[in-house]
Amino acid sequence: MAEIINLRAARKAKQRAESAAAAAQNRARFGRGKGAKRSEQAEAERRERQLEGARLEIGREEGDPPRE
């Protein structure tokens, strides 16, 4: 004979498995710590300052707005 199962329990187990899979995806996507985020942001700011400092300003007059 077939095994008797509780449909409510089976439904909840399926939902738990789906939630666990979604949580694993989110951990992979967003799972960086605060320190890693700060380090990455500081590195991006450092690169931006370095690029801005190396920018040539040939032909600019006093009072002209900076070029993008």
List the chain domain ranges.
8-53
What are the φ and ψ backbone dihedral angles of 46, each rounded to 5 degrees?
-65, -45
What's the distance, CA 65 to chain centroid? 34
| C-alpha span between 21 and 60 (Å, rounded) | 56
Residue type for position 24: A
pTM of the model: 0.44
What are the CA-CA distances from residue 64 to residues 30, 55, 59 (Å)?
Answer: 42, 16, 10
User: 18-39 pLDDT, tens per residue?
Assistant: 999 999 999 988 888 889 889 9
Classify 52 as helix, strand or coil.
helix
Q: Is the pLDDT of residue 17 over 80?
A: yes
What single-letter amino acid sits at 11? R
